[in-house]
Structure 1
Amino acid sequence: MAAVDDLVALDYTGASTNVRAALLMDQKDANAKDLKTAQENLTHAQADVAAVSGLTQAVSNLTAAQDNTVAAEAYVTPAQANVAGAAAAYNVLNKATVSVGEDGTVAGLIVLNDNGDLVLAKGVTETTNKGVTELLNASIAKEAADSGLVNAQDAEVAAQKVVNELDLTDTAKADLQAVGAKMGLADGALPTAAQIDSEIARLDKLVETTKATADLTDVVALAADATAAATDADAADAALTDAVALRADATAAAMYGLAPTFNPLLNTATRLHLCIRPIRGSLHRLLANIG
């Protein structure tokens, strides 16, 4: 029953016999509709491909190239393992610690000849160096696997390019070439979808960075304004201090009738201080947050 539950949208196992029959019928109808839709989509897609001259063959070539890449990849991993195993065996047999280079060579044992082929170094034989023949063959096989994968990948890229550009109009090609030029590609080069996506991502990041820089500039300007305002508030405090001192002087001079002149000045300074105090507190808090 568990297997049927996986195929039916609702609970099949816990239902009665009649409900099970109804569930199966409903699921059968739903599957038939899905299959019909999928077949129609496939037919339309095949028709679209057939409408473009040469596209059917181009898609076929691309599929074959993709299969070749997968097959080439399957040779690389075991080839690498064989090289590692051959090197380990050689080291055990000869009490050595050799390693294989990226190009397949082994210092003092395996070199590249004038044709670029891997061969044993002069004077090195299986007799003088046990296991060196197996190491050489494994290294050759690995280089062949690596080269085969690179060639397969290049062929796949070329096949994909044909599919991408086969149905392009002259206007579309010109537009893509213009985009490619702005991306810094070679003259006349058509950017791939992957290259365009990468460029868009780069530009989006640049926009974010630029916006962050602009926001920082605004914060710095705000801090400068707040600092200036705080300085003004400090000046007001100093004025109040001076006024208090003047009032003391005025009190001392009251006997001479000078107090009426100093009292209005002190009252004005006091009111100014009371207005500035809350503003100053807000500015100090703002500066602390910005800092």
Structure 2
Amino acid sequence: MTSAAAATRMPQGVVTADPGTPTLPRRRPPRRRALRVAVLGALVLATVAFVFPFVWLLSASFKPRGEVFDNRLIPQTFTLQNYVEVWQVAPMATWLVNTVIVTALAAVTVTFSSALVAWGFAYFRFPGRGPLFGLVLATMMLPGAVTMVPTYLIWKELGLVGGLTPLWGGNLFGSAFYIFLLRQFFLGLPRELFEAARLDGAGNWTIFARIAAPLCRPALILTLLFEIQAAWTDLMRPLIYLQDSSTFTVPRGLKAMLDQFGFGGEWHWEIVVTASVITTIPMILLFFLGQRHFVQGIATTGSKG
């Protein structure tokens, strides 16, 4: 067939390119490029707005007392003396140990207890399951101030006020938010897998521990990370239950340092900002180490209602 005959058979409006002619890459429309630049610019501005406070705090921790508030991101007089003095003027090591203990116990207990309750609501069928689960979710609407006094009276009657137990003991009974989060993940798992395991002779605990929990690992890690951050930065409960400085957690210790060195007349703000940097760095490291699990847990949770 000749090229003239082939051209007559081609549909109208179709332009054919010579096989020997190189094809040029398509250019993005100007409007789309402008939108992309605007989005990237907004993200950069948001990043700077979120990062700037910590950068300022880090810079101030390397400045002497008279230059803390000079707003220079690069210290004019660089010193490491603040990181030496902060361990001498306050029992930072004791506070860090107490915080690690409370954080570890709070995160592990709430993850385990919430996973058990969530598994019960997701797997078992029993009368009143829906209203009972709604009642659990309704507890999230109660402000913390409503239950603050009754909870304190309970711990006082148990003789545990002044110790670390009230800071994590309540997590033994789970958290409504984490129960909801984990239940949504459990509902996304195929029920036939559990029925097959039951036919093979597996019990309820075996199904949960060896099948459901491993499949729920991203959501469990997400719950663990959430509670680690919440327990590490918690200030309200240490303010209520702790009186002795030897039992202080880091947030409670920072409050004591702020009262003494910030507003107490001594005005050693360089000590306060240095202690704040030491407190913040573990959470930043935790985010970078756990961000993959964080994103995976968010992406795979709530796939089924």
Structure that is richer in helix per residue: 1
TM-score range, shorter chain: under 0.3
Q: Which has the higher contact order (CA 8 A, sep 6+)?
A: 2
TM-score by length of 1: 0.25
TM-score by length of 2: 0.24
